[in-house]
Amino acid sequence: MSSTTTNNSKTELYGGAITINKLPSTFIDISQIRQIPDTQEVFINEVDNTLSYDQSLIFDILEQVPTPNYSEAIQEHLIDIAPTGTINHLIEEFKGEDIEKFFSYIIFKPEYKRVEENQSKLNIVLICLIRINKIKTDILIQYIIPLKKSYDITLINFKSPKNEIDQLIIDNFEKFKEICLSFKIEDWNLFAS
């Protein structure tokens, strides 16, 4: 499904069934370039800095994992892309009556080899897991930040950054959080089976 940007400063996802705050012009809708599965919306955020390559923003509608534990749910959803044993670190959670939002991040090295030596050594993945309990659906939103250099990162301090990488992640998390908190379901028929 393709997304569009409306004049009312919203970006429509899944044909307008879901909206978020308008994405900046640096975000490119990948469905305009190649086919994307109906359950996904994918954007590339073109960045030009010394720390990171172009970043990916992925929305994925998934069947709810039958566990109340957010960490296990994220691990299960990411099983195909994250290395075994990847630890995700909870940053914040928002629990509503019908919708719960969990923010976390994981750090992992890609399992594949890249051709160029100067390609990414680590990926920081900011995650928002939106659990819609009344319809047994999980929405997994990932913001992937590939780093240009190898860094020794074990835990990011969101209250007191230690270095420029911490600050990069914190700055991107604030933007990501704003996008995820603006997530609004406009048409529940999207989830009709």
Measuring CA to CA, which residue among 46, 43, 78 is closest to residue 62? 78
Residue 166: the pLDDT is: 86
Q: What is the mean pLDDT of each run of 10 residues along the chain (193 residues)?
A: 60 96 92 92 88 91 89 82 68 82 80 50 86 92 86 75 87 92 94 79
Domains and CATH numbers, the chain: 4-191 (3.40.1000.10)
Residue 162: the pLDDT is: 84
pLDDT tens digits for range 26-56: 999 999 999 999 999 999 998 877 888 889 9
Residue 83: the pLDDT is: 64
